[in-house]
């Protein structure tokens, strides 16, 4: 059952990268991220069986307070996918947002697919990655398993979508050596490259999903669960999109959207708190420091070399 405003995954209509640039914009150099979502859903349907998520009934469409923007939500699950969800924000002008993520079932140690695109009149902010489930600084075997073969893919886009400069230092541990972290001035050529990167990265993720076999050991499933919970906890608390959402739909609805939709699982996959995972953020009164970063921003340049070795401080 496909509920709500879903661009229905349709097997007869080929997604692919064909005709990408023709259909991409609004004719004025603008971008619509709907096409990205349609591609992802159709492509997923070719690899697995998507069913609507129970979240879909509650989270489908919100109009912004100023009534100028529409927030559209889609959510599905599949045998290896705990949650595939997307948030698309489109307005008459100013901002376009895509927050698309796929969270695997904890029986799989698959990376988390992450596409976060924020577009305003003069700037695009982009994160596209197969976020490692386990910290690759510590878990070298995990890094080998998933990223060794993907390094050429990262290199393919490193030049055309160059490193976006300093970022919240704490975020780097959630990124892989092939992360596309970039900022650019809006322009059709850039959107075409971004679409192509999205297609390539998503196809790579689906391939990993096809190959993934379930963990046999309970301890490994527990560890996957905790790792995903840590990721969700980080993002639910510190995601940079939160501020924008607050402005669009108000604090209460923004918080609900972030905690119960975007990072659904944060209340169920584990019981540790944000401060258990990130004790540096603890204030003297025991509350969570509201700063997004305790260490500050760093990594002016890409902190991985072409071999995927970490070269940041
Ligand atoms: C900025 N978004 C950023 C930045 C990053 C990300 C790294 C640069 C600022 C910083 O270093 O924090 C994205 N950070 C991520 C992602 C992870 C992470 C994906 O840790 C995953 C682990 N961004 C959105 C959505 C909106 C949005 C939904 O994903 C809006 C609704 C907006 N992102 C947005 C804005 C900025 C930004 C406005 C610039 C403001 C800022 O730097 O805080």
pLDDT value of position 295 = 86
Is the per-residue pLDDT at 38 higher than 90? yes
pLDDT at 157: 97
Which residue did the predictor score with more confidence, 227 or 92? 227
What pLDDT is recorded for position 7?
47
The pLDDT of residue 313 is 78
Give the model confidence (pLDDT) of 139-181 as tens digits: 999 999 999 999 999 999 999 999 999 999 999 999 999 999 9
Q: For residues 172, 237, 34 and 157, what is the CA-based torsion angle, rounded to 10 degrees?
A: 0
**What is the pLDDT at residue 11?**
36
Out of 12-21, 139-148, 162-171, 228-237, least confident range: 12-21
pLDDT of 284 above 60: yes
pLDDT at 31: 81
- Gap from CA of 242 to ligand 1 centroid (Å): 9
Pocket of ligand 1 (CB under 6 A): 97, 99, 114, 116, 118, 125, 127, 131, 167-168, 171, 174, 235, 240-241, 244-245, 292, 297
For residues 163 and 181, is the Cβ–Cβ distance under 8 A?
A: yes
Looking at residue 262, what is its pLDDT?
98
pLDDT digits (tens, 9 = 90+) for 53-77: 999 999 999 999 999 999 999 999 9
Contact 107, 82 (CB under 8 A): no
CB atoms within 10 A of CB 258: 22
Higher pLDDT, 211 or 93: 211
| Residue 89 burial by Cβ neighbours in a 10 Å radius (0-12, 13-18, 19+) | buried
In whole numbers, what is the pLDDT of the chain averaged over residues? 91
Asked if the interface predicted TM-score (ipTM) of this complex is over 0.90, the answer is: yes
The rounded radius of gyration (Å) of the Cα atoms in the chain is 19
User: Which residue lies with its CA nearest to atom 30 of ligand 1?
Assistant: 241
């Amino acid at each position: 059952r496909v509920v709500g405003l879903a661009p229905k995954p349709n097997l007869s209509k080929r997604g692919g990268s064909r005709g990408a640039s023709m259909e991409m914009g609004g004719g004025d150099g603008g971008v619509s991220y709907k096409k990205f979502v349609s591609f992802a859903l159709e492509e997923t349907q070719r690899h697995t069986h998507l069913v609507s998520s129970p979240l879909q009934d509650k989270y489908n469409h919100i109009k912004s307070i100023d009534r100028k923007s529409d927030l559209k939500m889609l959510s599905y699950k599949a045998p290896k996918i705990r949650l595939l969800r997307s948030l698309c924000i489109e307005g008459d002008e100013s901002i376009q947002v895509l927050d698309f993520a796929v969270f695997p079932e904890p029986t799989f140690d698959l990376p988390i697919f992450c596409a976060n695109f924020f577009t305003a009149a003069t700037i695009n902010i982009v994160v596209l990655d197969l976020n490692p489930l386990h910290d690759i600084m510590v878990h070298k075997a995990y890094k080998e398993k998933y990223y060794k073969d993907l390094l050429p893919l990262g290199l393919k886009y490193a030049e055309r979508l160059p490193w976006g400069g300093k970022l919240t230092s704490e975020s780097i541990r959630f990124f892989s050596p092939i992360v596309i972290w970039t900022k650019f001035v809006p322009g059709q050529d850039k959107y075409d490259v971004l679409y192509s990167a999205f297609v390539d990265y998503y196809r790579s993720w689906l391939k990993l999903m096809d190959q993934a076999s379930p963990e046999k050991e309970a301890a490994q499933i527990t560890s996957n669960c905790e790792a995903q919970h840590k990721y969700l906890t980080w993002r639910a608390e510190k995601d940079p999109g939160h501020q924008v959402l607050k402005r669009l739909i108000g604090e209460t609805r923004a918080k609900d959207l972030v905690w119960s939709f975007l990072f659904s699982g944060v209340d169920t996959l584990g019981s540790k708190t944000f401060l258990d995972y990130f004790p540096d953020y603890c204030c003297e009164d025991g509350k969570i420091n509201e700063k997004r970063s305790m260490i500050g921003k760093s990594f002016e340049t890409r902190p991985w070399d072409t071999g995927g070795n970490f070269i940041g401080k």
